[in-house]
C-alpha cells in the first residue's frame, strides 16, 4: 500500500542540525520538505536553494500553505515558544529542535498550544535514536545490572575552541538567545537521564567558564539524585578535544560501559578492536561484547533523527520525546544552573 508523503516546512535554519535532517530525508519516499522561512533572509534563501525548497518571505505565508502539514522548528532557542505556538495555531504538527525553551513558562505555553490545537509534537532528541542508547535502555529495563548505584554520562563538543564557531554574532553564544552552552548541549544528557532513570529529585552542580570567555559558560558537571536513590553524573563540555568512555553504569549485579558515543570520542580514529558497548555481570568470567560498530560518526546519530519522526507523523511510532518530556529536561537544566549559581542542592518537584 502506497503511503502519501508527509509534506513539511522549515521554520528557521539557525540550528545546523536541521540541514542534516534535510540531507537524510532526500531519499525518503514517505516525506518531502517543500518550503522554508528564516528571519535571516540570506541564510534562509541560501538553505532553501541548497535543498530545492521554496523560500517564503514571512512566517505567516509559510504557515498558510495548505500543502504543508508539519514543520521543523530550528530557530534560536528563545524563539521556540513563539514559533511553536504559531505553528500549532495554524494546525501544523511540530518537530522541535532541542532544547525545548529557556524558561518553564515558555515550555508551558508550548504544551498548552499543542493540547489546544490538537497537533502532534516531538522534540528532536538524537540520543533516543542511537541503537547503542536504545540497547542500554533495554538492559536497564531488564535489570541487567541489578540495583543501579551510579551512572556517569558525558555529552561534549569542542566547538568553543574553533574560531569558525566561537565568533561574535553566533546566536549559540548569546545569553539572551541560548542562555549558555550547558543549556544548549547538556539538555541532550538531561533527556537521556530522564529516559533511562526517570525524573530526578535533586541536583548539585558546577557550571562556569573555565578555559574560554566567548560564551556564558563552557564546562559543567551536574550530579542528580533519582527516586531510587541512584546518583547520575552529567558531564558537559564545549571545550573537549578528545575522549573515549561515554557512559558508565554501575549496579550491584553488573556494569555497562559505552565508548565512542559523542562528538569528541567519535571524531578520532579508534584503536584496533575498539568496542562500542559491553556488559559485565556478576559471576561471569568476562565482558559480554555487543555487536555495534565502534566507528559510527557522530553526524550519523544526528541524521538518524528524521526517520522515527516521519514514522510518528504517519502514526507508525510514538514521538521521540513529548512536550511534557521536554519540560522535565528544561527543569533539570535550570535547576542545575541554580545549584551552580547558589552553591547548594536544589530540589526538583
Q: What is the CATH number of the domain that holds 80?
A: 3.40.50.720
Mean confidence (pLDDT) of the chain: 97
Q: Are residues 160 and 94 in the same domain?
A: no
Q: Are residues 196 and 104 in the same domain?
A: no
Q: Are residues 146 and 287 in the same domain?
A: yes
Is residue 1 in some structural domain? no
State which of 103, 119, 135 marks the end of a domain: 119
Give the rounded percent of residues in the chain with a pLDDT score beyond 90: 98
How much is the pLDDT for 267? 86
DSSP strand pairing (121-123 vs 93-96): parallel
Dihedral angle of Cα 325, 328, 334, 340, to the nearest 10 degrees: -120
Neighbouring C-beta atoms of residue 273, cutoff 10 Å: 7
Q: pLDDT of 215-232, one tens digit each?
A: 999 999 999 999 999 999
Q: Are residues 140 and 268 in the same domain?
A: yes
State which of 101, 119, 137 marks the end of a domain: 119
How much is the pLDDT for 349? 79
The mean pLDDT of 95-117, rounded to a whole number, is: 98
Q: Which helix (H) or strand (E) holds 154?
A: strand 148-156
Q: Are residues 114 and 134 in the same domain?
A: no
Asked if pLDDT for residue 196 goes beyond 90, the answer is yes
Is residue 310 in some structural domain? no
Is residue 32 in some structural domain? yes
| Structural contact between residues 16 and 185, judged by C-beta atoms closer than 8 angstroms | no
Q: What residues contact residue 272 under an 8 Å CB cut-off, 6+ apart?
A: none
What is the maximum span of the chain, computed from C-alpha positions, in angstroms?
A: 65
Is residue 274 in some structural domain? yes
State which of 91, 119, 147 marks the end of a domain: 119
Is residue 318 in some structural domain? no
Q: Are residues 272 and 162 in the same domain?
A: yes
Q: Are residues 113 and 137 in the same domain?
A: no
Rg of the chain, C-alpha, whole Å: 20
Is residue 308 in some structural domain? no
Q: Which of 190, 54, 40 is nearest to 123 (CA)?
A: 190
Range of the domain at 273: 127-302+330-347
Is residue 149 in some structural domain? yes
Q: Which residue has the cell 500549532?
A: 88
DSSP strand pairing (148-156 vs 245-251): antiparallel
The mean pLDDT of 164-186, rounded to a whole number, is: 96
Is residue 307 in some structural domain? no
Q: What residue spans of 227-322 are helical by DSSP H? A: 263-266, 298-303, 306-313
Check which CATH number belongs to the domain holding 234 and give it.
3.30.360.10
Our count of domains for the chain comes to 2
Asked if pLDDT for residue 3 goes beyond 80, the answer is no
Q: pLDDT of 236-280, one tens digit each?
A: 999 999 999 999 999 999 999 999 999 999 988 999 999 999 999
Q: Are residues 237 and 105 in the same domain?
A: no
pTM reported for the whole predicted model: 0.96
Beta-sheet strand order (sheet of 200-208): 288-289, 277-281, 254-259, 245-251, 148-156, 231-237, 219-226, 200-208, 346-347
The mean pLDDT of 153-182, rounded to a whole number, is: 96
Beta-sheet strand order (sheet of 121-123): 54-55, 31-37, 6-11, 70-73, 93-96, 121-123
Q: Are residues 64 and 11 in the same domain?
A: yes
Q: Are residues 148 and 252 in the same domain?
A: yes
The mean pLDDT of 81-103, rounded to a whole number, is: 98
Q: pLDDT of 109-140, one tens digit each?
A: 999 999 999 999 999 999 999 999 999 999 99
Categorize the per-residue pLDDT at 1 as very low, low, confident or very high, splitting at 50, 70 and 90. Answer: low
The mean pLDDT of 73-96, rounded to a whole number, is: 98
Q: Are residues 216 and 285 in the same domain?
A: yes
Q: Are residues 198 and 260 in the same domain?
A: yes
d(CA 106, CA 119): 17
Q: Which helix (H) or strand (E) holds 233?
A: strand 231-237
Amino acid at each position: 500500500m502506497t503511503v502519501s508523503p508527509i509534506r513539511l516546512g522549515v521554520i528557521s535554519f539557525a540550528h545546523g542540525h536541521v540541514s542534516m535532517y534535510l540531507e537524510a530525508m532526500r531519499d525518503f519516499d514517505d516525506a518531502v520538505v517543500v518550503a522554508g522561512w528564516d528571519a535571516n533572509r540570506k541564510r534562509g534563501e541560501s538553505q532553501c536553494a541548497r535543498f530545492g525548497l521554496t523560500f517564503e518571505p514571512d512566517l505567516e505565508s509559510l504557515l498558510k500553505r495548505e500543502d504543508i502539514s508539519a514543520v521543523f522548528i530550528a530557530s534560536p532557542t528563545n524563539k521556540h515558544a513563539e514559533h511553536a505556538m504559531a505553528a500549532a495555531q495554524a494546525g501544523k504538527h511540530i518537530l522541535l529542535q532541542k532544547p525545548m525553551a529557556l524558561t518553564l513558562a515558555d515550555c508551558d505555553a508550548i504544551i498548552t498550544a499543542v493540547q489546544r490545537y490538537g497537533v502532534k509534537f516531538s522534540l528532536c532528541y538524537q540520543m533516543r535514536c542511537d541503537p547503542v542508547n536504545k540497547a542500554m535502555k533495554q538492559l536497564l529495563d531488564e535489570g541487567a545490572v541489578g540495583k543501579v548505584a551510579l551512572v556517569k554520562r558525558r555529552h561534549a563538543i569542542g566547538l568553543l575552541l574553533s574560531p569558525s564557531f566561537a565568533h561574535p554574532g553566533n546566536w549559540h553564544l548569546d545569553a539572551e538567545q541560548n542562555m549558555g552552552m550547558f543549556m544548549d548541549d547538556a539538555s541532550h544528557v538531561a533527556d537521556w537521564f530522564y529516559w533511562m532513570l526517570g525524573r530526578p529529585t535533586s541536583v548539585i552542580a558546577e557550571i562556569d567558564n573555565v578555559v574560554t570567555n566567548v560564551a556564558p559558560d563552557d564546562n559543567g558537571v551536574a550530579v542528580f539524585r533519582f527516586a531510587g536513590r541512584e546518583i547520575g553524573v552529567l558531564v558537559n563540555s564545549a571545550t573537549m578535544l578528545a575522549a573515549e568512555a561515554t557512559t558508565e553504569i554501575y549496579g550491584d549485579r553488573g556494569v555497562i560501559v559505552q565508548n565512542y558515543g559523542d562528538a569528541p570520542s567519535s571524531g578520532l580514529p579508534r584503536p584496533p578492536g575498539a568496542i562500542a558497548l559491553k556488559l559485565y555481570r556478576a559471576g561471569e568470567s568476562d565482558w559480554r561484547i555487543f555487536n555495534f560498530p565502534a566507528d559510527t560518526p557522530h553526524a550519523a546519530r544526528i541524521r538518524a533523527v528524521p526517520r522515527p519522526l516521519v514514522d510518528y507523523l504517519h502514526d507508525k511510532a510514538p514521538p521521540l520525546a513529548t512536550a511534557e518530556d521536554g519540560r522535565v529536561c528544561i527543569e533539570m537544566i535550570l535547576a542545575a544552573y541554580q545549584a551552580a549559581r547558589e552553591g547548594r542542592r536544589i530540589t526538583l518537584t
